[in-house]
Amino acid sequence: MKLIVGLGNPGREYRETRHNVGFMVVEEIARRYALSWAQAPAQVPDAFIAKRFGTEPVLLAKPLTYMNLSGDAVAALMRYFDVPAEDALIVVDEADLPFGKLRARASGSAGGHNGLKSIIERLGTTEFSRLRLGVGRGDDGRKLSDHVLSIFERSQRAELESFIAKAADAAEMFAAEGILKVMNTYNPEAAPSETD
């Protein structure tokens, strides 16, 4: 089974913020396959899941723990459904990438992202795939936390649907063909010289 986890914060006030692009991606995949979201089993507190089955079973998940505690839900999901780290993809926002850019990695550090930091701490490994979605850093005078917890600018909202669709395509490619195919297809040309 492949596990695709979109990170975000629960609650209406966060729904359309930059920090919730991970949720937006798994919601788009669920929409494509007409999947319904349900509360995860009792052994996996604070998560919604949606399943689809094909050649390779795929499980979509949205932790409801808030970003900084994402690792609690992700670790519980992986234990309950017996998903090894290499079969998991974590979809997150990335302030160090311009809006609309994707970057996939097979492993690596948290890169300053609190959701990834929590997952690494709870799993005890960095060996899981991640798909970072560029949301930009915003104005120099603005706190980064304020930027990622705000909604997209009007000009970006016009492009957001196609951005989320592209990220959903990349996540589906991970499930079908693996992270290396995603990296070769979607990473920016400059990616080999960047650090995670």
3-state SS record for 125-141 = CCCCEEEEEECCCCCCC
Per-10-residue mean pLDDT of the chain, 196 residues long, equals 95 85 96 96 92 86 94 96 97 90 95 94 97 78 60 76 95 96 85 43
Over the range 20-43, which residues count as b (16 or more CB within 10 Å of their CB) and which as e? bbbbbbbbbbbeeeebeeeebeee
Which residues participate in catalysis according to the annotation?
19
Secondary structure element (H or E) that encloses residue 26, with its range: helix 21-32
The correct answer on CATH 3.40.50.2300 for the domain covering 2-193 is no
Q: Which residue has the tokens 């409801």?
A: 64
Q: Whole-model pTM?
A: 0.90
Rounded to 10°, the helix 70-80/114-123 angle is 40
CA angle 70, 64, 138 (to 5 degrees): 70
Q: What is the pLDDT of residue 51?
A: 92
Q: What are the sequence ranges of the domains in the chain? A: 2-193
